Amino acid sequence: EPEVTQTPSHQVTQMGQEVILRCVPISNHLYFYWYRQILGQKVEFLVSFYNNEISEKSEIFDDQFSVERPDGSNFTLKIRSTKLEDSAMYFCASRSGQRGVETQYFGPGTRLLVL
Amino acid sequence: AQSVAQPEDQVNVAEGNPLTVKCTYSVSGNPYLFWYVQYPNRGLQFLLKYITGDNLVKGSYGFEAEFNKSQTSFHLKKPSALVSDSALYFCAVRDIIGGGYNKLIFGAGTRLAVHP
């Protein structure tokens, strides 16, 4: 069964450094998402991406964040200058876009720790 | 604004007993509702969804959920709990704002502990 994959599974970085989190969505899916989960808290939406552009972003997704789909398979989240409060589990999700098929499928997540 | 509430932080159940994990929602229009499960150090796994149709929805691993429009609820149920069901369960609703891109809005999660 097709899955969303994410790399790395864990990332430790120093405050102020740039990080890139990678995702490979399910191959025929058209809608892509990033969410994050700070330890012990709820899952929060960051950004959605469709047709090679951001379709919606949350207040969390400020100028330090960017997303890109550099080729036909990868979907990346970049944090330019990490802050301590960026420490969280980051989930990528994708959805097919077929009418009536609303399910978003999530990857296993990348645990980011900013020191 | 769309929202989801999971009123219980934790639910404790003995193995073999029925379980219920509660979820209520607040949306404008018809809700699209989802349940996901998160095992330790794992991602979110889709369990089931309600889009339209029969109010009782069956999903993975023997779980089901009942959509109740009058009570704005979508409780997750299982007739006989297993120790392996112990995990964190999230209820989510599709946001209707944002055109077709429709992010999910999650509840705070309920930790299910099934005891032998």
Residue B90 has what pLDDT? 96
Q: Which residues of B touch A44 (CB under 8 A)?
A: 106
Q: Is the pLDDT of residue A43 over 60?
A: yes
Q: Is A109 on the interface with B (CB under 8 A)?
A: yes
| Chain A neighbors of B90, CB-CB under 8 A | 42-43
- Kindly state the average pLDDT of the residues A92-99: 88
Which chain B residues contact residue A53 at CB under 8 A? none
CB contact, 8 Å: B89 with chain A? no
| Closest residue on chain A to B110 (Cα) | A42
Residues in B closer than 8 angstroms to A103, CB to CB, are: 34, 46, 49
Looking at residue A48, what is its pLDDT? 94
Dist CA B33 CA B89 (whole Å): 13
Whether omega for the bond prior to residue B18 falls within 30 degrees of 0, making it cis, is no
Do the chains contact at A106 and B105, CB–CB below 8 Å?
A: no
Give tens-digit pLDDT for B13-70: 999 999 999 999 998 888 899 999 998 877 899 999 998 889 999 999 999 999 999 9
| A–B CB contacts, 8 A cutoff, strictly below | 65
Question: And the tokens for B36?
Answer: 């996901």
CB contact under 8 A, B107 and A55: no
Residue B37: CB atoms within 10 Å: 22
CB of A25 less than 8 A from some CB of B: no
Whole-number Å distance between alpha carbons of A86 and B9: 24
The CA distance from A8 to A98, in Å, is: 29
